[in-house]
């Protein structure tokens, strides 16, 4: 009786996701079984091995594409791209975390478990073909992130960030669900394929309810991707969170949010796209400009990077609103590049920060004379800053280049101009950090403490550095991959 149902589930297509959940269960058991002192290390190693298996399963199952669970989710090239990206980011973050959470005095295995749960949520978002699954993914991801942000319990900034993120997140969740409900009211289904079939049948007489529903869904995505004016939570949450989590949050969940955003809007609301570009145009301009203006005046590197990550989300919106394959590919390309350079920059920020028990920390002043104390590290930071500013021959240049080129190609010349101008402004605060690294006065010498560099940080920074330069010199492979990944969408 249920044979057809089981056959329709195509469980084998979801092996990576099942692995993640299975891994979480195993990790819980490992945590429970091992004695208190050694459990986090054990969990970390379990998670690393497990994530490796997840990545392997993703790669091996590359050809096994199609819908699963009766069309609720779909496994295609796009899913494959994000599975890899998200799993690898999580892997790298887990890799560098063990010593860092020890330093923060939050050595609890839940740290890794929460990361796994949020990874699961993000994977759902990337593959969802039904608004309810998108919602489920967003919530699974967010609830874990709320807890992760507040993990440094001794710090007020951490508590504050978590509470703000949670309250506003809950608020936006309501808006998002309301949007889904309105959409359901119009269409009678939450499946994005049904939605597009229904809406394209309507022609010009699109009911206002559908507009409102799509608008509210857009706001939900905007919140998760920290787009102005829905970004209010992000500076506080980014600053309060343990820095590894900040690095994670500014890369992976952002990528997942854009993945779901792209799939839902390109497919389900493709009919209404012309109007959405107006909204997104303004959102892009505001997001870029706002993030830049605030980043200009920061004296904390962590906060500067937090604001600059808002700006980068603005660039991604530009790619999104082109509504063509070139733009979508540019967005995917940029997400990878952004993850690499941001991860690298945050890890170096961890290494340079003097005192983790300080409420704020991560001062620009700590970077004074870094070139003379640890030239290799300073050089790496220079490369990441240049990449973030979009200067060749780093990957950041091509990331921005493709985005702006796609915008001009799609006819958004004005937007590209504003984007390029913004990236020119951003050079100011990225290079300010570089200037600090070269300055060394007496006061700076007195402040100098030992750098906090672990082997894992060195390795991951080195990996990011090599990739940022390599992609900068030979962007071909990654761009081809990104282009192939968006083929089935448009």
Partner 1 sequence: MTPGDYLPILIVFGIVGGFAYFSLALTHLLGPRRYAPIKQDTYECGVDYVGDSRQRFSVKFYLVAVLFLIFDLEVVFMYPWAVNVRTLGWFGFVTMTIFLVLLTVGLLYEWKKGALEWE
Partner 2 sequence: MEHDVGHSVEMGYSIWLVLFPLIGLIVNGLLARRWPEKLVGWFGSLMIVGSFAIAVALFLQLSGLDPHDRVVHVSFFNWLHVGSLQLDFAFLIDPLSSVMMLVVTGISAIIHIYSIGYMHGDPRFRAFFSYLNLFVFFMLLLVLGNNYPIMFIGWEGVGLASYLLIGFWWEDMAKATAGMKAFIVNRIGDFGMLIAMFLMFKYLGSLNFADVFPRAAGVWGHSPDAGPVIAIGLMLLLGAVGKSAQFPLYVWLPDAMAGPTPVSALIHAATMVTAGVYMIARSAMFFTLAPTAMLIVALVGGFTALYAATIGIKQFDIKKVLAYSTVSQLGYMVMACGVAAFGSGIFHLMTHAFFKALLFLGSGAVIHTMHGAMHHVNDHTTDPQDIRNMGGLRKYAPVTFWTFLIATLAISGIPGFSGFFSKDEILAFSFAHGMQGGTLIPWIFGLVAAAITAFYMFRLVYLTFYGEYKGPEGGEPGLKESPPVMTVPLIVLAVLSVVGGYVGLPAVLGERLNVFKQWLDPVFHPAYEAARIHPAHPTISQEWALIGLSVIAALIGIVIAWNLYIRRGKVGLPDSAQRGFGRVLWAKYYVDEFYHAVFVRPLIGLCRIAWRFFDEKIVDGGLVHGSAKTVRWGGGVLRQLQNGIVGSYAVMLVIGVILVLLIVYF
- Of 372-431, binders to partner 2 (CB under 8 A) are 386, 391-393, 397, 401, 404-405, 407-409, 413, 416-417, 420-421, 423-424, 427-428, 431
Of the two residues 19 and 269, which places its CB atom closer to partner 2 in the complex? 269
Identify the residue among 293, 355, 466, 488 touching partner 2 (CB under 8 A): 293
Binding residues among 86-105 for partner 1 as defined by CB under 8 A? none
413 binds, among partner 2, partner 1, none (CB under 5 to 8 A by kind): partner 2
The C-alpha atoms of residue 231 and residue 222 are separated, in whole angstroms, by 8
The C-alpha atoms of residue 280 and residue 474 are separated, in whole angstroms, by 31
Helix (H, G, I), strand (E, B) or coil at 315: helix
Smallest distance from partner 2 to CB 128, Å = 22
Q: Is residue 2 part of the contact set for partner 1 (CB under 8 A)?
A: yes
Smallest distance from partner 1 to CB 345, Å = 36
212 binds, among partner 1, partner 2, none (CB under 5 to 8 A by kind): partner 2
257 binds, among partner 1, partner 2, none (CB under 5 to 8 A by kind): none
Of the two residues 353 and 423, which places its CB atom closer to partner 2 in the complex? 423
6 binds, among partner 2, partner 1, none (CB under 5 to 8 A by kind): partner 1
Q: Is residue 296 part of the contact set for partner 2 (CB under 8 A)?
A: yes
Identify the residue among 5, 170, 202, 417 touching partner 1 (CB under 8 A): 5
Identify the residue among 4, 6, 201, 204 touching partner 1 (CB under 8 A): 6
Smallest distance from partner 2 to CB 446, Å = 16
DSSP string for 53-92: HHHHHHHHGGG--EEETTTTEEESHHHHHHHHHHHHHHHH
Contact present, 154 and 114 (Cβ < 8 Å) = no
What is the token pair recorded at 349? 């920020």
Of the two residues 281 and 452, which places its CB atom closer to partner 2 in the complex? 281
DSSP letter for 265, please. Answer: I
Helices 131-149 and 208-224: angle between axes, nearest 10 degrees? 30
25 binds, among partner 2, partner 1, none (CB under 5 to 8 A by kind): partner 1
Helices marked H in 188-264 — which ranges?
192-202, 208-224, 233-240, 243-249, 252-263
273 binds, among partner 2, partner 1, none (CB under 5 to 8 A by kind): none
Specify the stretch interacting with partner 1 by CB under 8 A; choose among 1-9, 66-74, 146-154, 293-301: 1-9
The C-alpha atoms of residue 481 and residue 77 are separated, in whole angstroms, by 9
Identify the residue among 28, 427, 463, 469 touching partner 1 (CB under 8 A): 28
Of the two residues 267 and 405, which places its CB atom closer to partner 2 in the complex? 405
DSSP string for 371-416: HHH-HHHHHHHHHHHHHHHT-TTSHHHHHHHHHHHHHHHTT-HHHH
Phi-psi region of 152 (alpha: psi -120 to 50; beta: other; left: phi over 0): beta
Q: What angle do CA 204, 205, 207 make, to 5 degrees?
A: 130
Contact present, 169 and 226 (Cβ < 8 Å) = no
1 binds, among partner 2, partner 1, none (CB under 5 to 8 A by kind): partner 1
Tell me if the bond preceding 289 is cis, omega within 30° of 0. Answer: no
- Interface residues with partner 1 (CB under 8 A) are 1-2, 5-6, 25, 28-29, 31-32
């Amino acid at each position: 009786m249920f044979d057809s149902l089981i056959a329709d589930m195509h469980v084998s297509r979801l092996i990576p996701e099942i692995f993640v959940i299975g891994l979480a269960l195993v990790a819980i058991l490992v945590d429970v079984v091992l004695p208190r002192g050694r459990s986090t290390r054990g969990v970390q190693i379990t998670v690393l091995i497990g994530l490796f298996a997840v990545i392997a399963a993703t790669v091996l199952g590359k050809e096994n594409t199609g819908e699963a669970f009766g069309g609720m989710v779909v496994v295609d090239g796009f899913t494959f791209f994000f599975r890899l990206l998200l799993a690898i980011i999580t892997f790298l973050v887990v890799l560098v975390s063990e010593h860092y959470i020890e330093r923060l005095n939050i050595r609890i295995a839940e740290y890794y478990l929460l990361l796994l749960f949020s990874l699961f949520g993000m994977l759902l978002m990337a593959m969802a073909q039904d608004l309810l699954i998108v919602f489920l993914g967003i919530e699974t991801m967010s609830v874990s992130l709320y807890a992760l942000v507040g993990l440094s319990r001794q710090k007020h900034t951490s508590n504050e960030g978590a509470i703000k993120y949670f309250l506003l997140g809950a608020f936006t969740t309501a808006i998002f669900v309301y949007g889904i409900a309105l959409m359901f009211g119009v269409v009678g289904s939450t499946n994005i394929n049904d939605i597009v079939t229904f809406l394209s049948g309507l022609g010009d007489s699109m009911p206002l309810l559908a507009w409102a529903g799509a608008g509210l869904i857009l706001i939900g995505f905007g919140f998760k991707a920290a787009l102005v004016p829905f970004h209010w939570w992000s500076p506080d949450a980014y600053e309060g969170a343990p820095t590894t989590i900040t690095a994670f949050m500014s890369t992976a969940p952002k990528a997942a949010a854009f993945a779901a955003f792209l799939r839902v809007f390109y497919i389900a609301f493709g009919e209404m796209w012309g109007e959405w570009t107006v909204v997104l145009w303004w959102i892009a301009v505001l997001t870029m400009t706002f993030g830049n203006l605030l980043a200009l005046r920061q004296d904390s590197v962590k906060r500067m990077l937090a604001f600059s990550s808002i700006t980068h989300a603005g660039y991604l919106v530009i790619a999104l609103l082109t509504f063509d394959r070139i733009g979508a590919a540019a967005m995917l390309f940029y997400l990878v590049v952004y993850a690499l350079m941001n991860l690298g920059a945050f890890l170096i920020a961890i290494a340079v920060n003097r005192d983790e028990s300080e409420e704020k920390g991560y001062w620009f002043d700590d970077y004074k004379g870094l070139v003379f104390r640890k030239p290799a590290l300073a050089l790496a930071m220079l490369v990441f800053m240049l990449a973030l500013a979009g200067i060749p021959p780093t990957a950041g240049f091509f990331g921005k280049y493709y985005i702006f080129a796609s915008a001009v190609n799609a006819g958004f010349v004005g937007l590209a101009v504003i984007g390029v101008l913004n990236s020119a402004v951003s050079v100011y605060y990225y290079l300010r950090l570089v200037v600090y690294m070269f300055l060394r006065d007496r006061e700076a010498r007195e402040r100098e403490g030992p750098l906090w560099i672990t082997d894992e940080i060195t390795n991951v920074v080195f990996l990011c550095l090599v990739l940022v330069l390599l992609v900068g010199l030979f962007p071909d492979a990654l761009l081809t991959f990104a282009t192939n990944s968006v083929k089935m969408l448009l």
